[in-house]
Structure 1
Amino acid sequence: MKVFDLKAFRKDKNITQAEIARMFSCNQNFISRIESGIRQIPMDKLEILQSEFGDISKYYKDSDPPKTNQQTKQVQVNEDSLDFITAGGEAFSSMIVRMMNEKQIAPYGLLADKDREIAELNRQIGKLEALLEVAKKGTAQQVGNAAVADVG
């Protein structure tokens, strides 16, 4: 397979990655990934180079063998590793469910409901404390249809 050697082209033309990035309307990281073999140069970018510099065919070369994981920092996923990843995801999910069942953790929605319940209980406590203060003063308090008086 033939690939375009952007780095060789850029060096021959004495152009920086930043200048190519501006020409392509992209960031410099994109150019770096193309030059390191992580990404292929899109056809529309090749057309820009062709229109700006004329014939660019001499910069096409046979592709190198795939780079190692260490060089590209990409993960090669095969069936065994996919099974491992899937098993890991299932184990994580079952661990989360077990922790919720054992009440070690709670789903966010449940925590929000509990916060609302606590706020309502605090309001009720405040009302009861106010009623208690009124009762301590010995004044009559209307509760429903009956008046309650402290005869202390």
Structure 2
Amino acid sequence: MRTRLGVLLAAGVLATGGSVVPAAAAGNATAASGAASATEGSAAGAAALSSLTMTRSGSSWSGSLNKQVTLLCEPAGGTHPKPEDACAKIAAVNGKLDQLPRASGMGCPGVWLPVTITVTGTWRLQPVYFTKTYGNDCEAAVGSNLVFQF
């Protein structure tokens, strides 16, 4: 009796698993394609391995600099103006934003109009929190190898 019950249970699990797995996979494909259409510039159906929200706050000669963008990497996308370039530069420093080099051959005016950059999210599935105040918007861009130029 136990052997028969075990065989029947195994057959039932296999039969159920065969019908549930394709439905779940179809649901995931639909969710992934919906997410891809919601994020600009991402590859269709692919989930980004890294997702960062970058916020710039401060002021400039022309007024407020408050702005927020998203950066998705692997594959590159989001609302950042140059996601491929930004992802490559962040990857070069293994996601350590405080180690981004200055952009070479560029200078900024010595004007004190402080700008704070805050970055939160994940880089290659590791949590990220970065915040730094720069002397002005130009310094934020040049000081981050143009990653924070948005």
When normalised by structure 2's length, the TM-score is: 0.24
Q: Answer 1 or 2: which has greater strand percent.
A: 2
Task: Give the alignment's TM-score, normalised by structure 1.
Answer: 0.24
Quick check: which one's helix share is greater? Answer: 1
